[in-house]
A = this chain, B = another copy of it.
């Protein structure tokens, strides 16, 4: 593994600051600077169904994360006040917000889903993501809404779930699409560094399915540690979910533990 990483990407050994300094995309630049300033590459995936619980966890993990990952459409009592409070927390604790919407429709539809409806995702989520399966029109559609707002898009190049079809030619086609839309696509959801960077780009790799303690969730999710993700596979951001706020956990303690593990892995990688 180290061999393939060594030959792959010079961005691997650059600090987030060094990458920010030359990154052409404003959203990516802001995010890379934030990570270094806050000394955190931890994103917490808050998958809870009540507004109170979401805000409580966001407030607790806030000091330790670079990115709060939401599934806004699972919150039973969503309202505009939730969005306002999340934005206030993101300001207070200096993190960005990533709505993990996984857009997956044709261009004309995702434009409406991103900019309109009850959630108006584009109005508050700094970053969102989409699948590449509909073809490049999905990026063009989202871009029409997100680019004027300085938003950033992640493409799902790979998934952490068992039997994912995002492999091989699918992943390669996704990376190729990203390269053609570097004004808006800032990175990938992937399990490892995508080698498109060899060709001159800089994509931020965010990796879900990270845990220090468990192996799976019974519905196909598969876990890896922060060190495996960041050092061995070249991921930039570790996404941790129930490992931090699951039953009986001390949320702040766990957030600090994962923040430290992720950051140490990053330091080990850039020192190499």
Contacts and interface: CB of A to CB of B under 8 A. Distances in A.
Given A136-B162, A163-B136, A165-B170, A118 B78 contact: yes
B219 A106 contact: yes
A106 B73 contact: no
Copies in the complex: 2
Contacts of A140: 219-220
A109 interface: yes
| Interface size class of chain A, counting residues whose CB lies under 8 Å from the partner chain | 35 or more
A119 B220 contact: no
A137 B220 contact: yes
Secondary structure at the A interface, as helix, strand, loop or mixed, is loop
A105 B160 CA distance: 10
A135 B74 contact: no
Nearest to A242: B108
Nearest to A219: B107
A182 interface: no
Nearest to A165: B133
20 contacts: A71-B112, A71-B113, A72-B117, A74-B112, A74-B117, A75-B118, A107-B161, A107-B219, A131-B131, A131-B133, A133-B156, A134-B161, A134-B164, A134-B220, A135-B162, A135-B220, A137-B163, A138-B220, A140-B219, A141-B219
Interface of A: 47, 49, 71-76, 78, 100, 102, 104-109, 111-113, 116-119, 131-138, 140-141, 156, 159-166, 170, 173-174, 217, 219-221
